Every structure is written in structure tokens, then in C-alpha cells.
Amino acid sequence: MWKKTPLYVKILLGMGLGILAGLFAVYFNLSEISNDWIKPWGVIFLNLLKLIAVPLIFTSLVKGISSLSNISKLSRIGIKTISLYVISTVIAVSFGLFLVNFIEPGNTFPDHKKLELQEKFNSTVDLNKNLASELKNESPLKFLVDVVPSNFFEAATDNSKMLQIIFFAILFGIAMVILEEKKIKVVREFFNGIDAIILKIIDLIMLFAPYGVFALITGLIVDFSGDMDLFSALGLYALTVISGLLIMIFVIYPLFLKFFTPIKYSNFYKAISPAQLLAFSTSSSAATLPVTMESVENKIGVSNEVASFVLPVGVTINMDGTSCYQAIAAVFIAQVFGVDLDIYDQLIIVVTATIASIGSPGVPGGSIVMLIIVLTSVGIPVEGLALILGIDRPLDMLRTVVNVTGDATVASIVAVSEGKLDPVPEVLVEKTHI
Ligand code: ASP
């Protein structure tokens, strides 16, 4: 019975039981037991996912690119992918801006709470400020310099340097496309073998997913129990962020799917639900990548060639949930501090939030440092970050779901446009054939 239960149901069960166990631990003062005996299993699960992320990105990109018959096809897929990523990000930021200007959550924020929160989180803000000013003092081309690693192994040992791995994998793949087949035959077979091994390892790790998710959620509830009153103070802000993110999930992506693919969105969501649930429990789109790839290829039918290029790139540069949240957070802080933002400032936010989300790593809280860049670009006091840090984690969980859903949506659209979707019948809109 347990064996036949679909993975997403098992993960949901793990989540539900995790919430109960967490509440139980908080209520009966068992936090220490939870931290000592349950939380570590969550950390182990997260480590397993991170462990496989770099090898997966590298092999799947090399395999995907080297299977393309020519370079022009690669640049065509590349241009489509990047354009769709930028368009969806700009839409997300614009929706965020619209909502936060419409709801104005910052204008009802009590003054005494402002002081209280600032005192509580000032040291963290200082830390982030230093990091951000280091970033700001660099050349505008720094992001390009950062993409090119000087040492492959150094890049491969740091999960935040995924873009460097992607760069080398693309270079490697391109060289394979250019070279004569007989020279690289062995290498191609080698990568096919490694790819199969990595996919098997992911299957094995996923057997542990329901338990890992249980442990992660229990740990989160226990960690969070002290901050419950923050929810009421920041309720309207949180609600604005949540509405923006839900609009992305339930309106924008379904529209994308409806116009550009024959896929029914409810079936699409069912297919990628294990990835969404994992994104929610880990707050890391990079850690979720193995499962996103598995779902998009096996449950939707996107070809390996497209998925293995579009998804790893998306994990590093496409973060619609993050950019939507950054726009809302920036304007919320401006409203609380009485900083007036005109239309020109709001346009600057669209640009900086788009760039900041591209630069944010797919790890828990990855966008906080980048948010400072958005704030300073329009003169919003960085101290305002203290207001929102306390409830960042639950919002991070939801924005990571959006980030992952956005990647999967773009992968499907690119696959359809390239004739590389061999749809699993269950995901199609009825009676549609391609
Ligand atoms: N946690 C997010 C992700 O992994 C990034 C962020 O918004 O902080 O996609």
C-alpha cells in the first residue's frame, strides 16, 4: 500500500505529520528533543539533495548540449529560454508592485512595532549591509567576471557558484558538438552512464523524502514558535506577498500554459507537485532541482535535451517568486518609513528587482542580501530590512515554490516550441494532440 502511494501524497503526509509533531513539541516543551533527534534528519536530507545538485547540473548540461546537432540550435534554445525567463520575471515584479501600491500594507504599520523589530534584527541587517556594500563597490561587469571560473574544482566545491559550473558545462558541451563524433564517442558514452547513475541516486534519495520533509517541517515549526506574534504585526505585508505569489501560481503560469502549450494546468501541477512540495519544505530551488528535472521529463514529457538545459539555468537565474517578493518588500519598507516613490522610482525597482533575482542564489534566504541592492537603488533605508526578517522564512518557502514552478513552465513552453514535448497523455488538455 505505502509502496503504491504516489510520492506527492507521501510528502504531503510527511508535511502534515511534521506540522503536528512540531506543534506537539512546542506545546509540551520538547523543543530540545526535536532539535537533537528529529531536525538532523532534515539536515541530512537537505545535504543529500545538495550533494547531487552539482554533479547533476554538470552531467545533464553536458549530455543535453552535446546531443544537439549544431550550435545554432543551442543558441536558438538559449535565446528563447533567457527571453522567457526575463519576461516572466518582469511580469512578477510588476504584479508585486501593483499589489503593494494597491494594498499599502506599510501605511497601517504601528510605530512601536517598528522600533521593536529594528532593535531585534539590527545586527543581522549590519551583516547583510556589509555584504551588499562589498557587492556595490565592484565593477558593473563583476557579474560577468563571476560567471567565469578560474578553477573548475573550486567552483564545484561551492554550491553558490552554480553559474560557473553551468558556464564550464556549456563550454564542454559546445566543444563536443564541434568535434568529430569518433573523437568523443567514449566521452559521450561515459556521460550517458554517469547520467543514469545520478538519476538512480536521486530515486534512492527520494525514497527518504517523506521522512526528510517530516523532519524539516517539525524543525521549522519549533524554530518559529517564538515569533508567532510577528505574524499579526506583519500580517498585511505577508498577505500581500502571499497574494502576489498565489497570483503567479494560479493565474500567470496557467495563462502561459494555456496560450503556449497543450498542457492542462491542473495536470501540470499534479505532475510537478513533488518538486513544489520539496521547494516548500527546503526553501531551496537548487536543492529541488533533481526532482524538478525528474518530474518535468518523466511526468510531463519534456525531452531530456530541453530540460537539461532550461532547468539548471533557470535554477540560477529565473526567480519569479523572489523578484515579486523583492518589489513588495522594498515598497512596504518605503511606506513604513514614509519614503515617497514616484513612477520613475518604481521603474527602477522593476529593473533592479529583476537583476537582483537573477543574482540571488537558490538557497534559503538567498535573496536577502540582494534585496539591499533594490532598497539602496531608490534610497529606501536598509535598516527597514529588520522589519521583515522575522517572518522571511515562511514567505521564502512559498516564493521558492513559485521559482520552481516558473522554471518548469518555461521548460514546457520551450519544449513545445522546439517540437521536443512528447507529452505524457495525462497532462494534456482533453482531445488535443500535438
Ligand atoms: N529560497 C529561494 C530559492 O531557493 C531564493 C530566495 O528567494 O531567497 O529559490
Helix 162-178, helix 181-207: angle, nearest 10:
140
User: Between 425 and 347, where is the model more confident?
Assistant: 347
Cβ of 319 less than 6 Å from ligand 1: yes
Cβ of 366 less than 6 Å from ligand 1: yes
Q: What is the distance in A from the centroid of ligand 1 to the CA of 403? A: 7
Q: What is the pLDDT of residues 284-332, one digit of tens each?
A: 998 899 999 999 999 999 998 899 889 988 988 899 999 999 999 999 9
Q: Are 291 and 61 in contact (CB under 8 A)?
A: no
What is the predicted pLDDT for the residue at 260? 94
Average pLDDT, rounded, for the chain = 86
Nearest CA to ligand 1 atom 7: 322
Of the residues 131, 159, 322, which should be mutated to test ligand 1's pocket, given the most ligand atoms within 8 Å of the CB? 322
Statement: residue 376 has pLDDT above 70:
yes
Ligand 1 atom nearest 367 alpha carbon: 8
Nearest Cα neighbor of 416 from 255, 257, 270 is: 257
What is the predicted pLDDT for the residue at 433? 45
* Angstrom distance (rounded) from CA 363 to CA 341: 30
Q: What is the pLDDT of residues 233-244, one digit of tens each?
A: 688 899 999 999
Q: Give the model's confidence band at 183: pLDDT under 50 very low, under 70 low, under 90 confident, else very high.
A: very high
Q: What is the pLDDT of residues 185-210, one digit of tens each?
A: 999 999 989 988 988 898 899 889 89
Measured distance between the N- and C-terminal CA atoms of the chain, rounded to whole angstroms: 36
| Separation of CA 382 from chain center | 24
| Separation of CA 327 from chain center | 16
Q: Give the model's confidence band at 434: pLDDT under 50 very low, under 70 low, under 90 confident, else very high.
A: very low
Contacts of 163 (CB under 8 A, 6+ apart): 146, 147, 316, 317
Q: Give the model's confidence band at 142: pLDDT under 50 very low, under 70 low, under 90 confident, else very high.
A: confident
Proportion of the chain in helix, strand, coil states, percent, rounded to 5: 80, 0, 15
Contacts of 117 (CB under 8 A, 6+ apart): 230, 233, 386, 387, 390
Of the residues 50, 363, 368, which should be mutated to test ligand 1's pocket, given the most ligand atoms within 8 Å of the CB? 363
What is the predicted pLDDT for the residue at 124? 66
Nearest Cα neighbor of 330 from 164, 156, 66, 106 is: 106
Statement: residue 353 has pLDDT above 50:
yes
Nearest Cα neighbor of 85 from 356, 410, 402 is: 410
Beta strands in 244-355 (DSSP E): none
What is the predicted pLDDT for the residue at 146? 79
Cβ of 279 less than 6 Å from ligand 1: no
Q: Is the dihedral of CA 147, 148, 149, 150 positive or negative?
A: negative
What is the predicted pLDDT for the residue at 121? 67
Evaluate whether the domain defined by 7-427 bears CATH number 1.10.20: no
Cβ of 285 less than 6 Å from ligand 1: yes
Dmax of the chain from CA atoms?
Answer: 72
Ligand 1 atom nearest 365 alpha carbon: 8
Q: What is the distance in A from the centroid of ligand 1 to the CA of 277? A: 14
Ligand 1 atom nearest 325 alpha carbon: 7
User: Global pTM?
Assistant: 0.85
- Phi, psi values for residue 421, rounded to 5°: -110, 120
Nearest Cα neighbor of 396 from 224, 157, 202 is: 224
* Angstrom distance (rounded) from CA 333 to CA 321: 18
